[in-house]
Amino acid sequence: MTTAIHELWLENRRAGITIGIAETAPRISFIADASGPFELRFTRDDGRIETARVTDTQRVAWPFTPLAPREGGTLRVSGEKSPDGALETRVEVGIGDDWQVDFVSPSTVASRDAPRPAFLLRAVFDEANLPGDIRHARLHSTAHGVYELELNGVRVGDDILAPGWTSYSHRLRYRTHDITDALNDGENVLGAWLADGWYRGHIGFDGGVWDAYGSDVALLAQLEVTATDGSLHLVPLEWTWAPSAITEVGLYEGETFDARMLDKGWSAPGFDASDWKCAEVLPRTSFAARIEAPTALPVQEIETLPPVSVERQPDGRIRLDFGQNISGVLRVRVKADAGHTIRLHHAEVIEDGRLGVRPLRSATSVDTYIAAGDGVEIYRPRFTIHGFQYAELENWPGQLQDGDVEAVVIHTGMRRTAWFDSSHDGLNKLHSNVMWSMRDNFVDLPTDCPQRDERVGWTGDIQVFAPTALRLFAAHGTLTGWLRDLAFEQSDQGHVPNFVPWVECGFPNFPTAAWGDAAVIVPWEMYRNDGDVRILEAQYPSMRAWVDLVDELSGGSGLWNQGFQLGDWLDPTAPPEDPGKSHTDKYLVATAYHVRTARIVADTAALLGHVDDEARYRALAEKATRAFQDEFLSPTGRVVSDTPTSIAVALVFDLFADEAQAARAGSRLLELVGIGGFHISTGFVGTPIICDALVRAGSMDFAYHLLRQEELPSWLYPVSMGATTIWERWDSMLPDGTINPGDMTSFNHYALGAVADFLHRAVAGLSNDGPGWERIRFEPRPGGGLTRASARYDSVRGSASVAWVRDGERLIVTVEVPAASTGVVVLPGSTEEIEVGPGTHRFDTAFRAAVDDPDAPFYGWRREEPTAA
Ligand code: BGC
């Protein structure tokens, strides 16, 4: 029988980059449809072959001679006796620190604080610079600003907004591109577009900042050719520059492209560049940032969407609805006279018959195209990105034809790993909306929103969303890089900025619970998801420093009860203009998180073998637990403050002194949720865990009542209003179709969508029982009138799935365990744990019929119906 290898990756980069990696001995992981032994075979470019026999599939230590910088070859994995099912990948190390060239710049002084032009850079080389017999050619590059490369008139790579946004003063990522096939005999031209981006453009809110990282924009490009004899040749490049057709561009503001200024053929041989100016050389060593290989795929064009409706407006604009709120830009195809100017406007929603642009704040999001007038022209903005579902074309010449405009979806390239489906259309749509909000907000780093003048890496948002993010997509690479930035930006005292990378635009820069806790919780969730302790090793100093800081802030008492807090942010009872004014005690939240992260650091210390640390953080966690109990719990199990978030936090973080207390609090939680008419009454902290808390309190039915609620505030209210993403506020759009008056109203924030994880784990019943999906728990919980639900997860050990179907009082449960895992099945109504091995298993059992699922009980609370006039 053939053993097929389905997936093969290095480090944690599932389906990611394999050329230009940092590790000289990358760990190897793969998924096989049968157990080992397996053969690993590495064929170096010089023909040397090494093989190894392994039985494990996860993070196998590189069994070959370590690679030198630039060295590469082909890795093949197969079942020991079945080369037919083999899978191969290229493995090639980047240049490490071996930079031989300097930055080159067309602009070292930033002009006024307004969108600035992009530049073109150009370098020419010919055969005289190249060896006779070329094995391969590599271009290693990065920039201050954002850039796109062209070689001989053809785009290099598919990176968008490269090099992405990192904490530039500490860390700048470069990319290695294979350009072997793009080289010409004779003259060759390397070109680059270069603009401000995050480095020098406008970023942040409340006015934001300009030139956050420097006053220059600059390119760093090292072109290397390896001859067939293995010798390495650095191709000398002399750069000149010229203004580009992009006359103004900002990530928030949009791009203006004057096609009349485009010098056709500028990056191809034979072009007359005699009037281009010499670029200024900026010594690489005058910048402190470490230049690193990426840990994830870049931002890319992922798919395109045609409009679902096209409508001419009374003012002559053409309105397009793409049927989906996305992050991206438009691609237009147009024929117009020279100088004809078209404006592309973007918005997430329509209000009062017009594009609802108020929530964008200062992110104008208008692209302008000035036609060259030479036939059919195609334009996609390069250096800006918008969050939108609707667009309006202003001054479009003539009629719009099918295919003239499409929306280009742009975000980090990530492998999708999870699927959920059920008999409930609303829940399915909710799940789809969460997927989209994650995609739209993983634009190189995990951001809060893709549309307004913000789009920053808020720590609290990814802290609550991390388990869901890691379920839906293989997001490890992105999060690994972002956590490096977090650690770099953490102060010596352990303080974690509220968003990372941090830009000083006036937001309070104080330690904040649930936000700063991302330093501990995100790496922990990553470890839980794939079982790889390396992220914990890497982040350990950062994790500890945060918990130590909070211990200090509590005056060593364990009770964190002073200073700035965001608390249960966006609790629906808080006024729109004051989202932090929750009815849950902020310091209860702060102390609860302190317990949680101290416990995680203790567990991490244990895993990493730091015995003394383990004892220290265990003691710290116990002290904080006692402080929490003394301050916020009555001996009989009342919680101060008496809110769903407070009780949920205490239940899910396991903060009660005994089961009797927890039971009393649990019944109070059920009561409160019932009194609230099964509407959401939790914010950023409570919402992601409220359903788990209800299950812990003994009622999955209550979780279903909450999940199926459509009245405001609820998860399904936005769905009932036609949402295609998760909103920042439950009522980002009010029932009358107007936009929430709050200044902070986005239609695309993933945080409140963290419940998607519960759909997988509890509704369908598919969860990880211990780190890395080595052991899988199948525990379906039918209810809510659903007649079926199913989930699949492509774990690092292979695909696991569960499906349940109700037929009257019959319940059929089917589970699938991948070859490298084992499972345990717990059927509804039973506590028996049924052990299962790899393969598919079917259970036919009895459970109450869907029609007998309970209705939400009445707690004497009803929304007032408007009386007919
Ligand atoms: C962001 C949030 C963030 C919050 C905290 C908002 O402006 O969009 O998602 O966590 O501020 O203050």
Please state the three-class secondary structure of 196-255 as a single string.
Answer: CHHHHCCECCCCCECCCCCCCEEEEEEEEEEECCCCEEEECCCEEEEECCEEEEECCCEE
Helix (H) or strand (E) holding 375: none
Measured from the Cα of 507, ligand 1's closest atom is: 12
Cβ-contact 143, 217 below 8 angstroms: yes
Distance between Cα 448 and ligand 1 center (Å): 7
> Which pLDDT value is given to residue 867?
57
Catalytic positions:
454, 728
pLDDT of residue 178: 97
Query: Using a 6 Å cutoff on CB, does residue 465 contact ligand 1?
Result: no
Pocket flag, ligand 1, residue 749 (CB < 6 Å): yes
Q: What is the rounded distance in angstroms from the CA atom of residue 580 to the CA atom of residue 565? A: 8
As a whole number of angstroms, the distance between CA 772 and CA 769 comes to 9
Q: Across the 869 residues of the chain, what is the mean pLDDT of every consecutive 10-residue run?
A: 92 90 97 93 96 96 97 96 92 97 97 95 91 94 98 97 98 98 94 98 95 97 95 96 98 98 96 97 95 97 98 97 98 98 98 96 97 97 98 97 98 97 98 98 98 97 98 97 98 95 94 98 98 98 98 97 95 88 96 98 98 98 98 96 97 98 98 96 97 98 98 97 97 95 94 98 96 97 98 96 98 96 96 97 98 90 53
CA 72 to chain centre: 30
Report CA(738)–ligand 1 centroid distance (Å). Answer: 22
Give the H/E segment covering residue 159. Answer: none
Q: Cα separation of 231 and 757, whole Å? A: 52
Ramachandran quadrant class, 699 (left: phi over 0; alpha: psi -120 to 50; beta: rest)? beta
CA proximity to 452, closest of 334, 544, 314, 360: 360
Q: Ligand 1 within 6 A of 393 CB?
A: no
Residue whose CA lies nearest to ligand 1 atom number 7: 744
Q: What are phi and psi of 286, to 5 degrees?
A: -85, 0
449 lines ligand 1 (CB under 6 A): yes
Query: Beta partners for 48?
Result: none
CA of 510 to the centre of ligand 1 (A): 14
Q: Please tell me if the CB atom of residue 77 comes closer than 6 angstroms to any atom of ligand 1.
A: no
What residue's CA is closest to ligand 1, atom 3?
Answer: 458
Instruction: Indicate the helix (H) or strand (E) that contains 602.
Output: helix 586-608
C-beta 729 within 6 A of ligand 1: no
For atom 4 of ligand 1, the residue with the nearest CA is 458
pLDDT computed for residue 864 by the predictor:
54
> Under a CB-based contact definition with an 8 Å cutoff, are residues 404 and 332 in contact?
yes
Mutate to test the pocket of ligand 1, among 205, 362, 447, 569 (most ligand atoms within 8 A of CB): 569
pLDDT at residue 742 in the model: 86
3-state SS class at 381: coil
In angstroms, rounded to a whole number, what is the distance separating the alpha carbons of residues 610 and 803? 42
70 φ, ψ to 5°? Answer: 75, -10
The pLDDT value recorded for residue 869 is: 46
CA of 839 to the centre of ligand 1 (A): 44
Strand partners, 171: 290
User: What does the pLDDT read at residue 858?
Assistant: 84
Q: How far apart are the first and last CA of the chain?
A: 76
Using alpha carbons, select from 144, 60, 62, 61 the residue that is nearest to residue 102.
144
Residue located nearest, by CA, to atom 2 of ligand 1: 448
Burial class (CB in 10 A: 0-12, 13-18, 19+), 575: exposed
- The label of the residue with tokens 């237009």 reads 332
Nearest CA to ligand 1 atom 9: 448
347 lines ligand 1 (CB under 6 A): no
Instruction: Please indicate whether residue 464, judged by its CB atom, sits closer than 6 Å to ligand 1.
Output: no
Nearest 5°: CA angle at 426, between 420 and 428? Answer: 15
Rounded-to-integer distance, Cα 251 and Cα 199, Å: 11
Residues 525-552: b if buried by 16+ CB within 10 A, e if exposed: bbbbbbbbbbbbeebbebbbbbbbbbbe
Nearest-CA residue for atom 1 of ligand 1: 448
Question: Is ligand 1 within 6 A of the CB of residue 794?
Answer: no
